[in-house]
Structure 1
């Protein structure tokens, strides 16, 4: 099987359907997971991309062929899958999703028994099985079964509602705009917000896989959506990505909020509830570190990747964590990036402080971040890292994940992406010009 164009990593596989991601790749990857798990109950879910239904059948074949009992939970947000694994006592799960990639893409994301995305070590074992075997196929009389379990969404909503005061949020009488962008997360968002006593204005909340705008919910992709918030008199706008593990915010004026602010606002409120450790990844804003220190709490960074953040959170018993792409992780709810608990925490902050979202964002520590990317062969990174260290010799160096350099009021992170054939160069500094200069100078070195 030719996997030269298929992205295969410890996080799963991802590719273009009909080109780099053929159905036989999905069958084999599912069989690799089934071999690793040695059978047992495995949940299968998908986001709303039309190709997901085709891949679902391929995944059923791969899992059942290795003796797994497959339970189809249908179109679900990714964090709901993690919760369902624990609720249904499954050995693992596969979520069919390409996250923020465009419609032609799809992929497989793997979960373990604990309801978290599989850690790197387990992912590496499955990657090796996928690429070289051996796959443990079951004999004819031990082939797995297929079924449909009870509804799993209600448990997710209940877990979120338990973490905040519903009465306090309801007293805020919030009018909330929700854009599901045709993905998996719209219906649960609408139901959850209604349970919080909010009036909901919904757009593109059908799970039809039709993306009304580009899939990644960043400000540059939301310029057509943002005015809806102020036009409909909403207090906040919430935008989801296709598999609903990211939350982008739009304030009451119709201004898009940096995706970095989602985690920061959630952390600010969570530390009001309980003091404890905070974990974010190495490419996430320094304002989270400032908020943790202000609250007298420990702060840690992990390698980029949800599984890495979760592993560090567990190690330090963190009360909250996340990634700067709009992904909030609250261990009271689950070990997956969860926009729903993010909504609940941020609405609680707005209600308790009696301040509009724009003011809460303005009161966060002020930094400017720039995220750039370059098409560069991974083999060239070692040489580039050496040159970057010489460029900024007084900066603190961290090689946990690529290369991170920390100056007195700035940082720079250069790493190869796990999900795309690119190198990311991210910088944060007190001003936009300073961040741009860091990215430009680092990018010139990386790209040669």
Structure 2
């Protein structure tokens, strides 16, 4: 039997290396618990292109049916299509096999409930409690199995929701589908609404031969010379399953995620004032845009902004870097919708994305990931947090809703948190100038390295990006 880990669900669903942590046996246990949680209703199942995803999907499907739940199998499909299908076809819930942006040896799953919204932390706890308590159904109460290809309906409904007006401006977009399933629909949608596109990394391959599946700056910026050479307006890059979207433009390079969120917030708040829920690693660009538009920004846990959306009244947008929940489309994260909406903005305003983003504030930011042995992650993190509190508590505002965030009087801030999906400690920071930013990041990075060194450990990797 697969050993029950202290906590199965992390920041965003369940993830782990195949077959060490995530394997068919785990999916069988999970299937029984999920079938019980959804009261043996009809559920939709889909998966990304990872080499292990089909096997995990088959194991899960067998377990669900054997536990009395009926399964509608979408097969290989983007994650946004699965979430949309839950709502569109009025199903009880859905499960998507994916490890999102993680390396190819990882896999996992996310669970959605009625309406297409991800399950909450409380829901996750209920499923975990029932992992080894739930039972199979009797021979006369087994669920049914069917297949469905909803891509045509998805394409049609997404285009209809955008109501793109005829425009003489035809945006030129490079679409990097990361060897994943977004290639099944994203190129068609952008072409149909009026963009001229060039697809790269369009062969579906769960080994991700084109590039690393996380569309971060160091991964995407080597494509910048290509973007400039072919005269395109923007590069839209997805992750492995299509919930994340990154944007690169010819002159500005990698566009900070905060500025994309701020752009969505600006447009939505011009139509309706309300609350914008963002993850704790979002910064001042979003805050300034939201407040200038008469809205209210609320910080929430990373990976759980959908819970914040449900918690606060009059919420008009929920987002975290890479991911946007726009209720005008649905209560789920969908990178394909984000790409289509940004294309719509370019067409309606008759400008490229760089010109549109000129009205959005820009502040230097840094992100840093330090690889830490899993068995040391908690104690190293806690030691560094205590050192940071001791150093900064009297000089700044402290927030601990997800990790430790320290906001200073000069509007700079830094956040440290444990990754919920990988054995890493992550740092996020923002400041008014590069020198202040470097100083802030290095001061906390040195605390992490010192804590590791005292335990005789040297991190095998440090990923660090500074965006001016």
C-alpha separation between the residues in 1 aligned to 2:168 and 2:207? 35
Q: How does 1:257-336 map to 2 (within 5 A)?
A: 257-305=255-303, 308-314=304-310, 315-324=312-321, 326-336=322-332
Shift of 1:241: 0.6
Q: Is the 8 A contact 2:16 2:22 kept in 1?
A: yes
Shift of 1:2: 4.2
Residue 141 of structure 2: aligned partner: 142
Q: How does 1:192-211 map to 2 (within 5 A)?
A: 192-211=189-208
- What is the DSSP-based 3-state SS (H/G/I as helix, E as strand, rest coil) of the residue aligned with 2:94? strand
Shift of 1:403: 1.5
Residue 402 of structure 1: aligned partner: 403
Residue 216 of structure 1: aligned partner: 214
RMSD: 2.2
- What is the DSSP-based 3-state SS (H/G/I as helix, E as strand, rest coil) of the residue aligned with 1:116? coil
Q: Is the 8 A contact 1:101 1:215 kept in 2?
A: yes
Q: Is the 8 A contact 1:79 1:334 kept in 2?
A: no
Shift of 1:383: 4.2
Q: Is the 8 A contact 1:5 1:15 kept in 2?
A: no
C-alpha separation between the residues in 2 aligned to 1:56 and 1:254? 41
- What is the DSSP-based 3-state SS (H/G/I as helix, E as strand, rest coil) of the residue aligned with 2:162? coil
Shift of 1:230: 2.5
Q: Go from structure 1 to structure 2 and tell me whether the alpha carbon gap of 1:89 and 1:285 turns closer, same or farther (over 3 Å shift).
A: same
Residue 441 of structure 1: aligned partner: 443
Residue 45 of structure 1: aligned partner: 46
C-alpha separation between the residues in 1 aligned to 2:447 and 2:86? 44
C-alpha separation between the residues in 1 aligned to 2:161 and 2:144? 37
Match of 1:365 among 349, 361, 364: 361
Count, aligned residues = 441
Shift of 1:195: 1.9
C-alpha separation between the residues in 1 aligned to 2:349 and 2:74? 39
C-alpha separation between the residues in 2 aligned to 1:219 and 1:313? 28
C-alpha separation between the residues in 1 aligned to 2:369 and 2:302? 15
Q: Name structure 2 gaps, 5 residues minimum.
A: 452-468
Match of 2:242 among 238, 241, 244: 244
Of stretches 227-236 and 401-410 in structure 1, the one that deviates more from structure 2 is 227-236
Q: Deviations over 1:167-200 (max 9, x none)?
A: 25x4321122111111011221111112211122
C-alpha separation between the residues in 2 aligned to 1:49 and 1:341? 22
Give me the TM-score of the superposition, normalised by structure 1: 0.92
Q: How does 1:14-413 map to 2 (within 5 A)?
A: 14-130=15-131, 133-149=132-148, 151-168=149-166, 170-211=167-208, 212-253=210-251, 255-305=253-303, 308-314=304-310, 315-324=312-321, 326-374=322-370, 375=372, 376-392=376-392, 393-408=394-409, 409-413=411-415
Shift of 1:160: 3.3
C-alpha separation between the residues in 1 aligned to 2:204 and 2:307? 31
C-alpha separation between the residues in 2 aligned to 1:276 and 1:349? 21
Of stretches 244-253 and 254-263 in structure 1, the one that deviates more from structure 2 is 254-263
Q: Name structure 1 gaps, 5 residues minimum.
A: none
- What is the DSSP-based 3-state SS (H/G/I as helix, E as strand, rest coil) of the residue aligned with 1:328? strand
C-alpha separation between the residues in 2 aligned to 1:111 and 1:364? 33
- What is the DSSP-based 3-state SS (H/G/I as helix, E as strand, rest coil) of the residue aligned with 1:223? helix
- What is the DSSP-based 3-state SS (H/G/I as helix, E as strand, rest coil) of the residue aligned with 1:181? coil
Q: Go from structure 1 to structure 2 and tell me whether the alpha carbon gap of 1:406 and 1:159 turns closer, same or farther (over 3 Å shift).
A: farther
Shift of 1:128: 2.5
C-alpha separation between the residues in 2 aligned to 1:292 and 1:303? 19
Q: Deviations over 1:102-159 (max 9, x none)?
A: 11111111111221111111011212223xx20221112212221113x323343344
Shift of 1:309: 0.9
